[in-house]
Amino acid sequence: MTARILSGKEFAARIKADAKAEAEKLREETGVMPGLAVVIVGEDPASQVYVRNKHKACEELGLHNVSVEMPETTTREELFAKIDELNADPKIHGILVQLPLPKALQSAEAEVLERIDPNKDVDGFHPVNVGRLSNGAGSLVPCTPAGCIRMLELADIPMDGAKAVVIGRSNIVGKPMFNLLLQHNATVTVAHSHTKNLAEITKQADILVAAVGKPGFVTADMVKPGAAVIDVGINRIAPKKLVGDVDFDGVSEVAGAITPVPGGVGLLTVAMLMQNVVTAAKLQLKK
């Protein structure tokens, strides 16, 4: 068996096309074009690449977008003041503070995320949005797990009644993935570093999500034949070589479907950010 490759490029294009059509309809009906502000503090090279990718996606969709670049020496108070300004700006519907913050601000990271208006929190990290997701009322959901769910829907991979295993319990991927799969009527197990007999658990999964940050962690002997395997990991093992949390070559001989790295889930994350900006604009128009 050779697995079906779930191309992030293909599914991201479909998600962005839907978001673009929704944004254009919103502008025609209300005169409002959804807008995103990305705040970057300092000069972390990887963060700068991520920010450029987000603005490029906004340009593709015709969304209003601004980049707020702040120096490494920015204080907590200065960053809060900038977020407050963006919260009050009616042209900005989504605010994203690029992480990681410089060392001097890292202790304030939770406060920074909470400072963003929950209705403009397009990362879905604000405690209000985390709570809304957990009780099934979430609209602004973390982009990576939301992208994985949308891909499963578009790929016609059934979640209803499926056994799903998520390896990893982070606030950014593992926990929201659990909630979203549960809302799609999957039976979900969350495994982590303290889980015993991990392979026995993962081999029961119809849908296996790997989000542990360890290169090649999931091997073929951990996968049920025919399972859908979603690799959220992005690990740099050489200057120009990225690999996922899944041993792609081995697992693709067993799985029914698999996402590659690169070219998989990472592209879905940016696409779902665009969808969240449009969703946020709609939420604010209802207020």
Binding residues for NADP(+): 168-170, 234
Question: Phi/psi of residue 197, each to 5°?
Answer: 50, 50
Q: Please, is 106 exposed, middle or buried when counting C-beta atoms within 10 Å of its C-beta (0-12, 13-18, 19+)? A: exposed
Give the N- to C-terminal CA distance of the chain in Å, as an integer: 52
Alpha carbon distance 189, 229 (integer Å): 15
Amino acid type, 105 = L
123 is catalytic: yes
Strand partners, 163: 187
Rounded to the nearest 5 degrees, what angle is found at the Cα of 84, between the Cα atoms of 80 and 87?
135
Report the alpha-carbon distance of residue 70 to residue 39 in Å, rounded. 7
For residue 176, whether the previous peptide bond is cis, meaning omega lies within 30 degrees of 0, is: no
**Tokens 């009322």 -> residue:** 137
- Known binding site: residues? 168-170, 234
DSSP state of 51: H
Q: Which of 100, 117, 96, 120 is nearest to 108 (CA)?
A: 100
Q: Do 39 and 250 touch, CB atoms closer than 8 A?
A: no
Check 82, 98, 206, 247 and give the catalytic one.
Answer: 98
Catalytic residue among 123, 206, 245, 247: 123
- State the residue for tokens 């009644």: 161
> Which helix (H) or strand (E) covers residue 236, if one does?
strand 235-238
Paired with 67 in beta bridges are: 38
Measure the CA–CA gap between 71 and 153, rounded to whole angstroms: 41
For the annotated catalytic residues, the residue numbers are 54, 98, 123
